[in-house]
């Protein structure tokens, strides 16, 4: 058992696992994720070894929970040499005690690193969902974004995946790009739809501080669409995906035939998840050190801890069992606010049953508080909401412009009494 301030890391029955592989061949100009470029094969191998050691240590500390989902992201996980990929995934499976296939095992890949031997290694290792970062097929935009793959490389990767991969595919696209038009967005979506991926994510380009893109925009080297144009481009993609039979189950995520992202859904539902690897982030429940049961805490005290792993140098210099992650203690109120916001982004909405079972909230009190304190609430929420409704859901338009409606929501939610908080 591991101590954290006034509580302990508690055993769990189930968990999701995120593995951060920070390595990239080059860094995209818009990216503000933690990444490392130009690292040797020796450094990559050492990092993979540490990830396996960390996985085993945390799995033991958490009571060897059943792993429901695994998501390997980055960075660019597909830069791992094919010869090392299968041994690493096999060792990770052993460390996490994965005896049966998880509900979902996702692996991120960029088109220029998709090869037949990597796809075969992933298949043999139990990975069943391939996430491909396409972004666009427009070569000019790809160059401006600093993406390595051009349209011909992307299409070659798509052909290889269609011939060799038998699992599900999810694709990332971007709108709001320099010089992008509605016709260009339609071409991107139509070409992706021809792949028949199970899942598509659409993101509007965001200029993050201290990125090369931010400097290029500030200097006038790149001009981006204005806010109205960005919204129009995003709605063009949204409408095209809906016409193609994709369900918009979350603001940025679309699924065909019910193939939603199980890992992301568990995150939105505030299920515990473990973060492994340099820069990996996880959120785990803390049980009180007194006489309250594990995973349960009443009132507004600390109920969870968010662990953020250090950079590559510090991460690889630690030994098995040694913790080097930064800790953020999370109160019940903070977790409730985060859970409420992520739920509002989904088409289903916030689960009333979850609010009751996790936070001890009385639905009638919550709804009355929102109606009395949040002036815009009646115009945002789906009609027919009662204390007996299974979900509290926003209208489609309210979901899309959620950020413009939530000012002061945290203060309002603090007026909702919390009961015993139970995180499992």
Band (pLDDT 50/70/90 cuts) for residue 10 is confident
pLDDT surpasses 80 at 304: yes
Q: Are 416 and 365 in contact (CB under 8 A)?
A: yes
The encoded tokens of residue 169 equal: 């595919």
Band (pLDDT 50/70/90 cuts) for residue 6 is very low
What is the reported pLDDT for 300? 58
pLDDT surpasses 50 at 409: yes
199 forms beta bridges with: 170, 255
Q: pLDDT averaged over the chain?
A: 93
Residue 424: inside a domain, yes or no? no
Please give the tally of structural domains in the chain: 1
Band (pLDDT 50/70/90 cuts) for residue 7 is low
The per-residue pLDDT for range 120-162, each reduced to its tens digit, is 999 999 999 999 999 999 999 999 999 999 999 999 999 999 9
**Cα–Cα distance between 135 and 151 in angstroms, integer?**
10
Band (pLDDT 50/70/90 cuts) for residue 321 is low
**Cα–Cα distance between 19 and 47 in angstroms, integer?**
11
What is the reported pLDDT for 1? 40
Residue 17: inside a domain, yes or no? yes
Q: What is the pTM of this model?
A: 0.94
Residue 159: inside a domain, yes or no? yes
What is the reported pLDDT for 77? 98
What is the reported pLDDT for 28? 97
Task: Please enumerate in sequence order all residues whose Cβ is within 8 A of that of 315, keeping only pairs 6 or more positions apart, or say none.
Answer: 47, 50, 277, 278, 309, 324
Q: Tokens 């659409």 sit at which residue?
A: 202
The per-residue pLDDT for range 178-236, each reduced to its tens digit, is 999 999 999 999 999 999 999 999 999 999 999 999 999 999 999 999 999 999 999 99
Q: Look up the domain containing 102 and give its range.
A: 3-265
What is the reported pLDDT for 287? 74
The encoded tokens of residue 94 equal: 């052993």
Helices and strands of the chain, counted as H and E runs: 16, 20
pLDDT surpasses 70 at 323: no
Residue 149: inside a domain, yes or no? yes
Q: Which has more confidence, 96 or 3?
A: 96
Q: 348 by DSSP, 3-state: which?
A: coil
Q: What is the mean pLDDT of residues 356-365?
A: 94
Residue 397: inside a domain, yes or no? no
Q: Are 133 and 28 in contact (CB under 8 A)?
A: no
Residue 229: inside a domain, yes or no? yes
How far are the Cα atoms of 77, 157, 171, 205, 311 from residue 113, in angstroms, in the given order? Answer: 9, 8, 15, 23, 24
Residue 272: inside a domain, yes or no? no
- What CATH number is given to the structural domain containing 72? 3.80.30.20
What is the reported pLDDT for 290? 47
Residue 198: inside a domain, yes or no? yes
pLDDT surpasses 70 at 23: yes
Q: What is the mean pLDDT of residues 109-119?
A: 98
């Amino acid at each position: 058992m591991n101590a954290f301030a006034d509580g302990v890391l508690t055993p769990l029955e189930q968990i999701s696992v995120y593995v951060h592989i920070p390595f990239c061949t080059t860094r995209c100009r818009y990216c503000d994720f933690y990444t490392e470029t130009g690292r040797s094969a020796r450094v990559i191998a050492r990092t993979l070894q540490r990830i396996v050691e960390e996985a085993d240590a945390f799995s033991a500390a958490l009571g060897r929970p059943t792993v429901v989902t695994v998501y390997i992201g980055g960075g660019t996980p597909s830069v791992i040499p094919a010869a090392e990929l299968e041994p690493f995934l096999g060792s990770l499976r052993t460390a996490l005690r994965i005896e049966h296939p998880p509900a979902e095992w996702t692996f991120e890949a960029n088109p220029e690193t998709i090869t037949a031997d990597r796809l075969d290694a992933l298949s043999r290792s139990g990975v069943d969902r391939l996430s491909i970062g396409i972004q666009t097929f427009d070569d000019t935009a790809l160059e401006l974004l600093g993406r390595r793959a051009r349209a011909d490389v992307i299409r070659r990767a798509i052909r290889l995946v269609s011939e060799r991969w038998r699992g599900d595919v999810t694709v990332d696209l971007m709108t709001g790009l320099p010089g992008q038009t509605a016709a260009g967005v339609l071409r991107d979506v139509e070409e992706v739809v021809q792949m028949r991926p199970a899942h598509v994510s659409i993101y509007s380009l965001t200029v993050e501080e201290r990125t090369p893109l931010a400097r290029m925009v500030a200097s006038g080297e790149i001009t981006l669409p204005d806010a109205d144009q960005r919204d129009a481009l995003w709605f063009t993609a949204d409408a095209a995906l809906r016409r193609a039979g994709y369900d918009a189950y979350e603001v940025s995520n679309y699924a065909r035939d019910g193939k939603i992202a199980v890992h992301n859904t568990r995150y939105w539902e505030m299920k515990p998840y473990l973060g492994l690897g340099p820069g990996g982030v996880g959120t785990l429940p803390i049980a009180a050190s007194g006489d309250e049961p594990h995973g349960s805490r009443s009132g507004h005290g600390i109920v969870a801890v968010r662990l953020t792993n250090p950079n590559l140098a510090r991460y690889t210099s630690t030994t098995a069992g040694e913790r080097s992650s930064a800790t953020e203690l999370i109160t019940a109120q903070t977790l409730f606010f985060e859970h409420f916001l992520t739920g509002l982004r989904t088409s289903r909405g916030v689960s009333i049953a979850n609010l009751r079972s996790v936070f001890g909230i009385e639905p009638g009190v919550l709804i009355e508080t929102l109606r009395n304190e949040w002036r815009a609430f009646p115009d945002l929420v789906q009609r027919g909401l009662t204390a007996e409704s299974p979900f509290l859901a926003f209208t489609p338009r309210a979901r899309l412009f959620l950020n413009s409606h939530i000012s002061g929501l945290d203060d309002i939610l603090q007026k909702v009494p919390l009961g015993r908080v139970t995180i499992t």
